[in-house]
Amino acid sequence: MKNKVVLITGTSSGVGLNLSIILAKSGYKVYASMRNLAKKDNLLSAAKEAGVDVELMQLDVQDMASIQRCVDDIIAAEGALDVLVNNAGAGFIRTTEQATEEEIQWVIDVNLTGVIRCTKAVLPHMRKARSGRVVNISSVGGLVGQPFNEMYCAAKFAVEGYTESLATYVQPNFNIHFTSIQPGGIATEFANNVLQQFAGTGGMKDDEYKPILEKYIGGARQRAASGEAAESYQTSEEVALVVADCINMDNPPIRMRTSDWSEEFAKLKTQADPDGKLQQEDVIKRFLT
Which of 152, 162, 209, 233 is the catalytic position?
152
Encode 222-255: b = buried (16+ Cβ within 10 Å), e = exposed. Answer: eeeeeeeeeebbbebbbbbbbbbebbeeeebbbb
- What is d(CA 164, CA 35) in angstroms, rounded to the nearest whole number? 27
Residue of 158, 82, 74 whose CA lies nearest to 114: 158
Is 162 designated active site? no
Amino acid, single-letter form, for residue 82: D
100 burial level (CB within 10 Å; 0-12, 13-18, 19+): exposed
Task: Tell me the domains of the chain and their CATH numbers.
Answer: 5-288 (3.40.50.720)
Give 185's strand partners: 233
- pLDDT per position as a tens digit, 178-191: 999 999 988 755 45
- pLDDT per position as a tens digit, 97-151: 999 999 999 999 999 999 999 999 999 999 999 999 999 999 999 999 999 999 9
Beta strands in the chain (DSSP E): 5-8, 29-34, 55-58, 83-86, 132-137, 176-182, 185-186, 233-234, 255-257
- pLDDT for residue 225: 61
The whole-number average pLDDT for the span 73-96 is 96
- pLDDT for residue 192: 56
- What percentage of the chain exceeds 70 in pLDDT? 90
